[in-house]
Amino acid sequence: MTDDMPLTLAVNWRDSRFQVAAQALAARLQLPVLADLPDGAGLLLEFDDDGLALRSTEDGAPGAVRVDFVNGAMAHRRQFGGGAGQMVARAVGIRGSIRPTVLDATAGLGRDGFVIASLGCEVTLLERQPVIAALLEDGLQRARAAGGEVAEIATRMHLVHCDAIAAMGDWQLELPQVIHLDPMFPHRDKSALVKKEMRLFRPLAGGDDDAPELLAAALQLASHRVVVKRPRKAPAIAGQRPSAEMAGQSSRYDIYGKKKLE
């Protein structure tokens, strides 16, 4: 968590059926468990029938955020989002029968990872912020339990809660062909949903000021390419210059090629 914003972060359950799950999560994340809302501003992790959600208790705060691959925006994107033509798919090198192995080193809520996995790639997801990792883990579990195509996609997604800079510096496994990076950046996508998430997450995740170290570690590790998602007009991450870029309406991918994918 960042130091600049005092926060009450607690696990809450509105229904005693979720008490055991709430207590287990609170113990894992070393957070208090609360049956009632605390006074004042805070962030609450809550269980209900739709899984785990994060919400702010601040007056006028936006609604809760949860990871849902089965319904809503992600389900719509899976069915109608443009498949391999989407910018993230082209950036990681999906084309024809090419399906690189991808390390998504800034997993967040797993949306980019889900799109990449839905097109057939095996995706390892690294997330260092424990609350965000817990939300993503919960969403993946529900996706696996849902069965059908969503479950199949979720089984191609392998989440590890760790710091990616450390993990990439001490990598003992087969090299990922492509590394996908999407560190936090101010004033990115202005859609209502992203704005809501940013308000909740910035106090937890901060501004990812160590993005240059993250890029350097990724460039060392990837066998074929590193791709970095940025707001369209933002500067590239400090360090090596990208070899190509791909711009969309609100965001851009900086591409650091090492070897042709085939």
Residue 97 burial by Cβ neighbours in a 10 Å radius (0-12, 13-18, 19+): exposed
Could you tell me the smallest distance in angstroms from the CB atom of residue 260 to ligand SAM? 25
The verdict on 106 binding ligand SAM (CB under 6 A) reads: yes
Could you tell me the smallest distance in angstroms from the CB atom of residue 104 to ligand SAM? 7
Asked if residue 48 belongs to a known ligand binding site, the reply is no
The verdict on 254 binding ligand SAM (CB under 6 A) reads: no
List, in sequence order, the alpha helices (H) in 8-125: 19-29, 72-80, 87-92, 111-118
The verdict on 221 binding ligand SAM (CB under 6 A) reads: no
Q: Which of residues 150-169 bind ligand SAM (CB under 6 A)?
A: 163-165
Return the beta strands (E) in the chain as ranges: 9-13, 33-34, 43-48, 51-56, 102-104, 123-127, 157-161, 178-181, 225-231, 244-247, 251-257
Binding ligand SAM (rule: CB under 6 A), the pick from 208, 231, 245, 257 is 208
Could you tell me the smallest distance in angstroms from the CB atom of residue 14 to ligand SAM? 26
197 vs 201: CA distance, rounded Å: 6
The verdict on 51 binding ligand SAM (CB under 6 A) reads: no
Q: Interface with ligand SAM by CB under 6 A: which range of 32-40, 42-50, 51-59, 128-136?
A: 128-136
19 vs 34: CA distance, rounded Å: 10
For 176, which DSSP code?
Answer: P
Q: Which residues would be at the binding site for ligand SAM (CB under 6 A)?
A: 105-106, 108-112, 126-129, 132, 163-165, 182-184, 205, 208, 214
